[in-house]
């Protein structure tokens, strides 16, 4: 099973930063057991949403030649919960590293302006074509950014 945890990309500045949203729906199957009768979005899935956003930033910055692959989480702090019905604002910024083979990012998840999670992580870049159909990913990115609707 694969979770696509970015519902919309609001802004993307190639090679620098990206913003998106994740709408938490009560119908998402991961909420059934996390926790029974008191559903909250698992914190690790908030982290995964930021990691997916890093992938979209790398893809869009490289004409869909590259994708980000997580290798290390340097820091991850949780400040509160994301509940069904919440819209989680996702903000991600690329950090400069001295090692050119490593990409680093810092991210923030918030609901109604209140911080829920922050993280810093790094990893390597792989060829997008090795893991996905490039044209399908371009199409999905256009949908997530609503580029098709703007035409």
Alpha carbons 101 and 12: distance in angstroms, whole number:
22
* Cα–Cα distance, 22 to 20 (Å, whole number): 7
Is the confidence at residue 151, as pLDDT, over 80?
no
Place of tokens 């792989």: 126
From CA 74, how far away is CA 120, in angstroms rounded?
Answer: 5
Catalytic residue among 8, 34, 93, 115: 34
**The pLDDT value given to residue 148:** 66
The yes-or-no verdict on residue 150 having pLDDT over 60 is: no
pLDDT tens by residue, 82-128: 999 999 999 999 998 777 779 999 999 999 999 999 999 999 999 99
pLDDT (tens digit per residue) in 43-90? 999 999 999 999 999 999 999 999 999 999 999 999 999 999 999 999
Report pLDDT for 105: 98
* Omega prior to 48 cis, within 30 of 0: no
Q: Measure the CA–CA gap between 115 and 81, rounded to whole angstroms.
A: 9
Q: CA-based Rg of the chain, rounded to a whole angstrom?
A: 15
Q: How many CB atoms lie within 10 A of CB 119?
A: 21
Q: Which residues are within 8 A (CB) of 143 and not within 5 positions of it... i.e. 6 or more apart?
A: none
CATH number of 8-143, picked from 3.60.15.10, 2.60.40.10, 3.10.129.10, 1.20.210.10:
3.10.129.10
The yes-or-no answer on residue 34 being catalytic is: yes
Alpha helix locations (H) across the chain? 43-61, 134-144, 147-150
How much is the pLDDT for 3? 86
Does 144 have pLDDT greater than 60? Answer: yes
């Amino acid at each position: 099973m694969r979770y696509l945890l970015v519902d919309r990309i609001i802004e993307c500045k190639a090679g620098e930063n990206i913003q998106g949203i994740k709408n938490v729906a009560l119908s998402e199957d991961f909420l059934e057991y996390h926790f029974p009768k008191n559903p909250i979005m698992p914190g690790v899935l908030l982290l995964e949403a930021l990691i997916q956003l890093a992938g979209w930033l790398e893809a869009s910055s490289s004409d869909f030649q590259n994708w980000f692959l997580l290798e290390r989480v340097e820091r991850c702090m949780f400040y509160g919960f994301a509940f069904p019905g919440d819209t989680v604002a996702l903000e991600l910024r690329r950090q400069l590293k001295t090692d050119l083979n490593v990409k680093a990012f810092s991210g923030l998840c918030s609901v109604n302006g209140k911080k829920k999670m922050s993280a810093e992580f790094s990893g390597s870049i792989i060829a997008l074509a090795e893991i996905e159909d490039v044209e399908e990913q371009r199409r999905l990115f256009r949908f997530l950014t609503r580029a098709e609707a703007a035409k």
